[in-house]
Amino acid sequence: MEKLCLKVTGMSCGHCERNLTNAMEDIGVAVTKVSSKDGIVEFEYKSDKITLDEIKTEIIELGYGVE
């Protein structure tokens, strides 16, 4: 399992946090922390199942930015 923390922009509330968590879990990513206040998402994923670029694309498609 790979562990990573990404800076995510555009989250403003608990709904944003749940939306991002649910979408990540749907693609096989285990979210360990999402904070709209801090603008971060921490997660674990299996790099043989999904790539970091695919994860970033999913976040962007939800309407958030990734730095």
Q: Go through the domains of the chain in sequence order and give each one's CATH number.
A: 2-66 (3.30.70.100)
pLDDT on residue 15? 96
Task: Provide the token pair at 52.
Answer: 């970091």
User: Which helix (H) or strand (E) covers residue 62, if one does?
Assistant: none
pLDDT on residue 49? 95
Tens of pLDDT, residues 2-44? 999 999 999 999 999 999 999 999 999 999 999 999 999 999 9
Cα separation of 37 and 45, whole Å? Answer: 23
Structure pTM? 0.91
